[in-house]
Amino acid sequence: MTGSGTAPVMPRTARAIEAGLVYHVLNRGNGRMRLFHKDQDFAAFERIPKLVSGGE
């Protein structure tokens, strides 16, 4: 136990990462502010993971 009376915190195990895979993509701004003001901008954002993974 630590001096504050709580159990020590153990870090979680790191995730295995494989090259060429997209794991998680965030599309939200700070405070959930709008990121994409034009439909074309969002469409471009959606194309990126496909291009990276070879899906397009």
Read off the pLDDT of residues 1-56 as tens digits, 9 standing for 90 and up.
455 667 788 888 888 888 777 677 777 788 888 888 999 999 998 888 778 777 65
**Total domains in the fold of the chain:** 1
pTM for this entry: 0.46
Q: Which two tokens stand for residue 48?
A: 């990126």
User: Under a CB-based contact definition with an 8 Å cutoff, are residues 40 and 49 in contact?
Assistant: no
What pLDDT, on the 0 to 100 scale, is given for residue 49?
78
Element (H, E) at 49: helix 39-53
What pLDDT, on the 0 to 100 scale, is given for residue 1?
47
Q: Which domain holds residue 56?
A: 22-56
Q: Which two tokens stand for residue 31?
A: 């405070």
The answer to whether position 50 is within a domain reads yes
What single-letter DSSP state applies at residue 6? S
The answer to whether position 17 is within a domain reads no
The answer to whether position 3 is within a domain reads no
CA separation (Å) from 36 to 20, 39, 40, 48, 51?
Answer: 26, 7, 9, 15, 19
The answer to whether position 5 is within a domain reads no
What pLDDT, on the 0 to 100 scale, is given for residue 40?
95
What pLDDT, on the 0 to 100 scale, is given for residue 39?
95
